[in-house]
Amino acid sequence: MKIGFIGLGIMGRPMSKNLIKAGYDLCVCDIVKEAVEDVVACGAEKAATSKEVAEKSDVIITMLPNSPQVREVLTGKDGVLEGIRPGAIVVDMSSIDPNVSIELEKLVREKGAHMIDAPVSGGEPKAVDGTLSIMCGGEQEVYDKVKDILLKMGSSAVLVGKIGSGNMTKLANQIIVAVNIAAMSEAFVLATKAGVDPKNVFEAIKGGLAGSTVLNAKAPMVLNRDFKPGFRIELHIKDLNNAMNAAEAAEMDLPLTKTVLDMMNHLKEEGLEKCDHSALVRYYEEAEHVEVKPL
């Protein structure tokens, strides 16, 4: 089986390398030449266009920043739909607007091919070690054909419903992650301002009910002042904006989501959009004139 992989960014590059390690034959494409050459050096074949990737592949995986990029790669000039073969499967692992997934699946189906949306959670570390959580939307039969491929990039792959359901689940995930990071930041700034070592607070609470994967991953980054991006603030802003759009369509308010989104937009205005989303702590630190670090 030949797999095409389009989008070799922070997440896509290690994900594609894990497929090569698993023995799959890969054809890759990206606008960043250095990223392509890196994956080609690991054994992939280089394609000049998304159309060429589709012409050569049974399964085409896309891992791109947002809805406009996915739409362009699939439907634009020299895009996937110009080269896709009947019976091929598009697996969009980008985090995009669920309504765009539904729209694009119809266009893929018109070509006699299939599509599922399969966004991921776990950030760069889990992309590297192949333990991403993958949330899928689409037909059971199509999902079954690509499940083994997905499990070479993730430790779990769950079909949650029809097309678009994967991205709706990802939005739910991103809301929970964002609010967790905000709560952690608020709590650690409070402890620091009260003269309690935040490192000791982390050690004391991580095994209790407040403990979480988010806390374990992000607290050490805050304490070490390491905001190198595993997941950038600007990408989380994108996801929360998509969540707000989905909520508007459902005629629902998301007060916590809106609050955290406003905080992230404030940090973006200060030039911190490329930082890891754990840098949300900077919003509270600014307000209270403290820095969260071991005392």
Residues forming the active site: 170
In angstroms, rounded to a whole number, what is the distance separating the alpha carbons of residues 29 and 6?
5
The CA radius of gyration of the chain, in Å to the nearest whole number, is 20
- Of 189, 174, 127, the C-alpha closest to 277 is 174
Token digits for 20? 């090569």
168-191 in b/e form (b: 16+ CB < 10 A) is: bbbbebbbebbebbbbbbebbbbb
In angstroms, rounded to a whole number, what is the distance separating the alpha carbons of residues 104 and 251?
24
Residue for token pair 């499967």? 89
Q: Kindly tell me the burial class for residue 252, based on how many C-beta atoms sit within 10 Å of its own C-beta (0-12, 13-18, 19 or more).
A: exposed
